[in-house]
Structure 1
Amino acid sequence: MIFVTVGSQMAFDRLVGAVDDWAESRRPGVDIFAQIGPSTYQPRALRHAHALTPAEFNAAVARADIIVAHAGMGSVLTALEMGKTLVLMPRRGDLQETRNDHQIATARWLGERPGIHVAMDETELDAALTAALAAARRNATISAYASPSLIEAVRRFVAA
């Protein structure tokens, strides 16, 4: 299953529309569920909900093989903690999808890591999704907690 999430604060119609187009024309039969936020876009090929409770969100992530998201750190960390293949498409400030281009910088930085595929815009989404489908289920999880060495370093810093 592919789970698409745009976060809880705002719509991201460009991402939802691009995944909807991909599902409709390239991947009929692929199970895709999208959390689309306060979107005015009405998906044609995606099962969707505007909002999910935290429990519903976590259940959708747990069921998914691939997470498609904006480049928000909450979605990224949740996907990595659960060992999910991740496809990111950042919101853009020049399109007024966010207040600045911090997600572009985040996506570029994360795109170098295993299990994370980045589509900088809709034209790159097909390739990112195709790569993610090939790579799904081969990712290592990260811990939800800081490593003992990091905790010790922070303790030393605070004590100094």
Structure 2
Amino acid sequence: MIFVTVGTQFSFPRLLNAINAWASDNPHEKIVAQTGNTDEKYQHLEEHKFLSTKQYTNYLRQSSLIVGHAGTGTIISALEKCLPCILMVRDYKKNEHRSGHQSSMANYFKDYDGLYFIYSEYELFELLNCRNELVNAKPKTHTNKNLLIDYLGKVISKGKN
């Protein structure tokens, strides 16, 4: 199963439309999507606007791949569950977020195994088509949790300005 998450602050139509289009050509693949607050309907996805923590954790446990926005929660979930994760960076210039902090996140985590940062629908299709070859996400062995938390705090603070 592929689990799609767009976070809780904003929906992400560009990502959801792309995954829905891919799903229409791949009906054998079960795709569960947390879509956020949207009135859009994605006929090829099992949709949930929001999920409880228990539901979110259950879907992560069942999934073989995470697809989501490049948010901290999605990145941390992939690293904790050791799942491959395709992360589409929201484009600030397209009003997909309040700041460009997801680009900073992508730059910081770009060398982590199993985290695949993308910027276009084409890149999403390419990775989904070779999804069985993607490696699992794993934290860097030298990662210090407090350094990561400090960095994330700085990125978030910078994004609020």
Q: What range is the shorter-chain TM-score in? A: 0.7 to 0.9
How many residue pairs match? The answer is 147
Q: What is the CA deviation profile of residues 45-96 of structure 1, one whole-angstrom value per residue up to 9, with x for unaligned ones? A: 1111101001111111111110001000111101110111100001111111
2:86 corresponds to which letter in structure 1? V
Any conservation in 2 of the 1:87–1:132 contact (CA below 8 Å)? no
Q: Where in structure 1 are there 5+ consecutive unaligned residues?
A: 152-160
Matches within 5 A, 1:122-133: 122-133=121-132
Matches within 5 A, 1:1-160: 1-25=1-25, 27-135=26-134, 138-140=136-138
2:30 corresponds to which letter in structure 1? D
2:77 corresponds to which letter in structure 1? T
- Give the TM-score normalised by structure 2: 0.81
Any conservation in 1 of the 2:115–2:137 contact (CA below 8 Å)? no
Q: Cα–Cα, structure 1 residues 108 and 126, in superposed 2: closer, same or farther, change >3 Å?
A: farther
Distance 1:12 1:32 in 2: 16
Q: CA deviation at 1:104?
A: 2.0
Q: CA deviation at 1:122?
A: 1.3
Q: What is the CA deviation profile of residues 128-154 of structure 1, one whole-angstrom value per residue up to 9, with x for unaligned ones? A: 223433225x454679x957xx79xxx
Higher alpha-carbon deviation: 101-110 or 28-37:
101-110
Q: Where in structure 2 are there 5+ consecutive unaligned residues?
A: 148-161
- Give the TM-score normalised by structure 1: 0.81
